[in-house]
Each structure stands twice: as structure tokens, then as C-alpha cells.
Chain A
């Protein structure tokens, strides 16, 4: 049910842009206003989120240790999976953010006859996630050639690397294929694996469909309808120089693409997609396991009612005396 509703929701978005920018001739709204709103909500929302998280204290030092601690000098410690220094934490976070270290550990439990539990290697989620996220990043970087003049060298470099195999005209970007593959995998596992279907919400499917629709419209423009890039660049450069221009004849599909991106940007900070920023703040990952070496301060460490030794001795003095235990007060 959630699957269909979310699919319909994305189709409605497409329809709105198609009708709006096409039939109703509202290109200014879909080419300028919506992206501005989206971008502002995105930036403002992410900043708001991060500030809100950052303002909540980390009262306790709770890293999850995934390897040997640093204790005795002669015992080899695990510097990345259980870091005890800031450098180690940076390494751990880089591994996590760039290569999804924790997901790489993933296993799949199976209950066999015997009974026998086995934990098989399960790297597909890791692979699919890497394919999707890295492709997404590279595609975003590639898009800077539409926003900048002159085009920075790293954008051109990225583009030529992405089209390294020189397949077809225009050259096929590997990331285009990878992101479609990644998204398709991420969608099908939600549908096929019963546990995943059980936990998946409307928004989980909606986000996948939305991004997939963005990718497909992008691919259509590049490889099939061959959108006029000169016109597109007029629009985007106008946008970023606060000098709005709406060139004639870009075609509806571009506005659909842009509207879907605007929608994604708009709800991004209010959705689970904030994991992009949140992962950096996760206290089980970004703290060094050094809580016995360096005191961690809790800003709201309020006094609590404790039971003192004096109260204890007062209650048990006779018994302690009888047992010959030393006393503070005879």
C-alpha cells in the first residue's frame, strides 16, 4: 500500500510540473521560484538540524568499541575500529562516511536444521549503498558544469573520468548506470525481503521513487531528448547570479527534473535524509574510547540523592561491631 501511495505521490509531482511548466506556462515558477524555495529550505533546514543536534549535549562517553582497546603497551590495539586518539577517530569517521565501514560488517543470519545458526557474508547492501551514494555525489559534482562559468577543472576531470569508457554518443556516464542499479536494488530489497517490507514507511519508498524519477528525467534529457544545454545554462547562470532569465524552448522534461529536485531539497531536512549530516555527530562513532584516560564532562550532571557511608554505618553499627569490622564512630 505504501509502495503504491508513494509511487502515486511522485507521479503527481511529475504531473504538476508537466502541466504547470508546459500547459500553464508557469516556467518562472518551476524554473526559478521552486528551486529557490527548495534550496533555501534545504540549506536553512540542514543548518537548523545540525544546530539543534549540536546544542543537545553529549552527557556520557559512549563509543561502541569494535576492536581491541588501548590498554597495555605491548597489546596491539585496534586503532580504527576502537580508536583512543583524535586521529584514530578521524580515521574511523572517514572509513564510516566514505566507505560505510559498519555496513561492510553486515551478515545474514540463517537458521538451518540441527538447529544450526549460520551468519553468512552479506555485502550486497554495502555494495548497493556505495554504488548509490558515490554515484549521487559524482553526479552532483558533474552538474556544476551547468552552474559555473568557467567550469572548474575538477568538474571536467570528474566528467571525463565518469565517461572513461567512451561508450556511445553522448558518452555514457558510468554513474548514471550505477545509480539506476543502486536505486533499483535498494527498492527491490525493501519489497522482496519480508522484514524490510514490514519496517518500510511511505517515506522510504517515496524518497527512492523521487530520486529515481530525477535520475530518469536526467538520463532522458542527456541521452534521448537531448535538451538544449546552452538554454539550460542561461537559466542556471541567471539563477545563481540573481538575474533570472527564462529562455524559451527548454522543454517540459527539464522542468519536471528541476521540480523533483526542488521537492527533494524541500523535504530533505525534515526526512531521514538528514543522516547525511547526522552521521558526523553520532556519539557511538565520533568519540575516542579514552573515557578512563580523560574525564568526560556532563554539562547537566546534577546532584542526586546518595546513600552515604555514615548512614550505612549508623544503620548497621551494632552488627559491624559484633563482626569486628572497623568503625568510624564507636
Chain B
């Protein structure tokens, strides 16, 4: 962490959810340290060919906007109103019933009234009313209309980068108004005048060039995989042999880059390799499609498409039959809801059939990409895997549904089915905090960095608090999840709000429990922690 964060949870939790008496129409925001993200590095903006690359910071009085910034934004908004029915409809039909208000983790954790989803949308809606509706033009503020000013733009920047596009509000909205749609458009508009944040733009630029957000070059990717092969061998006593950029493999396996570079993701990566070795899967990695995650989603629809394109391109080039995607939240939002539309049709691939069980994945018949939890659940159901769940007995596990797999897909029972097979102690968090009502980690949609740490911890409060509940009640000490951003950011959040609870990948627990042909007697789990009963070592 770049700066020390010394506020205690007791202090942070002094939250007043009562809004001020002052009208929300006043757009002035104070850019307080810990609550906002830094501007994009101009080099990354330029690399991606995006407009108005420049040095500026949100705390500057002058954002060095282009002279015709207002025209650019309003033209951009008009264009998007005609392109997205969702946007137009969501601008028109909100009745301000307030059902969404206390559903947002950022509102719960901060009490800032403009973090109520309805208000976040009103920030844009007020300008929409002023420009495009008769009532707004005639009645002005009385009809909830506001002029677009520099202060309004700054307010947009502040609040559209305080939304993680988690879609929890859209579950509760009687019209299904999805704030993610509004935030996505709001960010696109900001990007038109070069108001990008670095934590999104630089990973996107890396990804465009090297295929992954971290900017790992092909030889570096190969090193990572070889490192993992050695690590895994030292634990299970088997040398696995995954391939990279191999033509003619049956399956292309796409992971988020954090899986081979981040902790605790990495232990899940070892788990995948162990699993695929055990079933003898004919698969290859691609050093170019070395990222399933897509920070383009957090930037603009266009950037999402640009970054996603490599997956089908690589599948085609490597002549695989179909694709498996690893554990990652927003990656699956893109794969499930956007990829086929944007970069399909994938008519050069075959309908996915598990080579081990013969199961046809009918649910993925046009996109041709299967979630690894679906794949593994099918293997288990068909009795293809043998487990020793006692190897996970050190862990009392709870499962965090990641926003996108839960609310943009419905991947709820597959990971639970797998979990129940690989560990003996599994406990659910309270029902209003899981499945479609799950709470965001507070760091999604490109906001998982250091400079906005206080906001992230506040946003992570509902999740952290639910973890604390099961920790106190059942002694839970491990939070399992299927999202790379969760794995990167929840350790800090959970440590802050619950303490002494680890975070792990689903396939780390699979890899721990998996009994493999020819494996040595395991003394440790994939983390290198001694198994229960083996604490003394040899």
C-alpha cells in the first residue's frame, strides 16, 4: 500500500445514512484522498488511440478539458440514447421509489446519498432532462433538470468511478433499471473528453499490446507456467505438462492473468493444472489470449470489444474445438453476455462436448465457451474424479458469489456443488448477502487500487460484515470465490472487517482434495501449508 491507512473499523463504521437537507442539484464534490482514482497515464491513453491524452488530476481546479467539451459530451449522449434502448428507457421510467437506495454497498458503507443508485442515475438523468425532454427544458430544476457544467462533469467522474457495476440494485428495481448500464455510458462520455482513470486505462493498454492486463510478455508467460509446473510437482510429485500456443489442441484454456501472477489466485491455477492433468485433457494456453479478464468493460463498449477479440482469434488460429474459461467475474460477464455478439459468430469452433464424460454443454452451444465450474461439476457428477475432502479440513469455508457470475449469468449452484464435494466444512453467509443478492467486494469494475482504499473498504463493508457473521457463528476461516478481482482485493477487505479469514479459489480446494494417479503422499496443500495430521512434517 502506497500510503498507510490508519482509520480503525470502529471509526469507519460511524456512518450517517441520513442525507443532508441541501438539494442534490448542487454538483460540487470534494475530491478527498482515499475516495477517488487518479487520472490515466497519457501514454496509455495515446497507445490506445484515445482522445485528449494529457497530464491532469481530479484534484486540479482546471481539468484541461477540450474547449468544446460540452458539445462532445452532449453529442455522445445523444448518440448513445439512439444506440441503447436500455439507456433511453432507464432515463425515462424511473419513479424514484427508492427500493434501490440501501442496496448499494457504497451507499451502505459511506452514507453518501449520491451513492444511492437512484441518485447516481439522476446525475446523468438531470442532464438528459435538460437537453432532451420538454418538461426539463421548460421547467428546469422543478422537473429535475440541470445544466451540464464543469462541476457536473466532475461530479460524474467522482460518482461513476464509485460504482462497481455490480448490478445488485437492478435485482431490486421494479423495472430492472440497471445502474451498470448508466455507469458504463457515463464512463464512455467521460472518456470522450479524456477523463479516464489509470487503473482502467493502463491495464487496458497492456492488454491490447501483450494480451494481458499485467503486460506480461510471451516469454514471461511461459516462465510463469513453468514456475507453476515446478511448484505443483514439488507438492503432488507429478510433473504436469501444459502447452502454450499449441495448434490442434482440443481445448483453449483462458484464464485471468492474475491467476498465474497473483496470490491467492495462483493456488487455483495449480488446481486447474492438477485437474486437467488428472483427466488427461488435451488443452493449450495462449500467450496472446493470456487474459480472459477485460478492463475494456470498465472503459467502453468499444474497448471491451477490442480487448475481447483476441480470444476467438486465438481459438481460430490454434484450431481448437472449443474454449474453457477459468474463474473470473467480469470476464464471464463479457464472455456470457457480450463476446458472441461482439466478436462472433464462432462458427469455426465445435459445440462443446466434454471429452471425459461426453456431456454436451447445450448452454454454450453458440458461444462455445464453458465455465470451469460447469466443467468440473459435470466431471464430479459423472464420477470421474476422486477426492479426499479431509485435505481441506483445515478450512471452514464460505462461498462468496461474485457479482457478475451471479447476476449476469446465474452461476450459483455449480460452484456450490463442487465445494460440497471437495470440502467437509461449508457454511453459507446470510441469504440477503449471497446468490443474486450477493454483495460486491467493493473494488470491482477497475476500482481495485490503492489510492481509493478508504472507499473500497467502505464498499467492502457489507461483504466483510457477512463474513464476520459466519466467522463468529461457525468459525469460518476461508472465503472461497470465483473472481480474480475478489481474490486480489477481498483479502484486505476481509482482514479489515472480519480478521483472520483467508481467500481462496474454488479450484485451489479442488486441487487440494483431488486424488491423482501416481501422486506422492501429500504433506501440504497447494499453499504449502501442512495438512492436518501432517503438521510435524517428515
Interface residues of A (CB under 8 A from B): 2, 5, 49, 52-54, 56-78, 81-82, 84, 96, 100, 102-103, 105-109, 111, 115-117, 119, 125, 129, 193-204, 267, 270-272, 274-275, 278-279, 281-285, 289-298, 300-301, 304-309, 312, 315-316, 319-320, 322-326, 328
**Interface assignment of B358: CB less than 8 Å from any CB of chain A:** no
> Measured between alpha carbons, how far is A114 from B116 in the docked complex, in Å?
24
Q: Are A67 and B410 in contact (CB under 8 A)?
A: yes
> How many pairs of residues, A versus B, come closer than 8 Å at their CB atoms?
321
> Measured between alpha carbons, how far is A281 from B116 in the docked complex, in Å?
24
Q: Are A194 and B362 in contact (CB under 8 A)?
A: no
Contacts of A300 in B (CB 8 A): 83
Q: Are B101 and A326 in contact (CB under 8 A)?
A: no
Contacts of B86 in A (CB 8 A): 58, 62, 282-284
Q: Are A292 and B135 in contact (CB under 8 A)?
A: no
> Measured between alpha carbons, how far is A300 from B413 in the docked complex, in Å?
35
Q: Are B359 and A272 in contact (CB under 8 A)?
A: no
Closest 9 CB pairs of A and B: A69-B410, A284-B176, A65-B410, A323-B219, A278-B93, A119-B432, A198-B19, A109-B102, A292-B367
Q: Are B89 and A53 in contact (CB under 8 A)?
A: yes
Q: Are A102 and B306 in contact (CB under 8 A)?
A: no
> Measured between alpha carbons, how far is A61 from B336 in the docked complex, in Å?
9
Given contacts A75-B413, A195-B102, A326-B247, list 9 more A-B pairs with CB under 8 A. A58-B86, A59-B84, A60-B301, A67-B435, A75-B414, A116-B469, A193-B98, A199-B116, A199-B122
Q: Are B465 and A62 in contact (CB under 8 A)?
A: no
Q: How far is the CB of B120 from chain A (nearest CB, A)?
A: 11
Q: How far is the CB of B400 from chain A (nearest CB, A)?
A: 15
Produce 1/0 per residue, B156-198, CB < 8 A to A.
Answer: 0000000000010011111111100100000000000000000
Contacts of B412 in A (CB 8 A): 67-69
Q: How far is the CB of A21 from chain B (nearest CB, A)?
A: 26
21 contacts between A and B (CB under 8 A): A59-B83, A61-B338, A62-B181, A72-B374, A78-B410, A84-B363, A106-B99, A107-B172, A116-B465, A119-B433, A275-B93, A279-B176, A292-B367, A295-B344, A307-B306, A307-B310, A309-B314, A316-B217, A316-B219, A319-B217, A323-B218
**Interface assignment of B470: CB less than 8 Å from any CB of chain A:** no
Given contacts A77-B410, A289-B409, A298-B341, contact A282 B89 (CB under 8 A): yes
Dominant SS among interface residues on chain B: helix
Stretch at the interface among B9-17, B31-39, B51-59: B9-17
Contacts of B45 in A (CB 8 A): none
Contact partner, A282, options B20, B135, B176, Cβ 8 Å: B176
> Measured between alpha carbons, how far is A62 from B181 in the docked complex, in Å?
9
Contacts of B305 in A (CB 8 A): 304
> Measured between alpha carbons, how far is A297 from B345 in the docked complex, in Å?
10
Contact partner, B413, options A68, A306, A315, Cβ 8 Å: A68
Contacts of A57 in B (CB 8 A): 83-85
Given contacts A64-B407, A271-B135, contact A117 B461 (CB under 8 A): yes
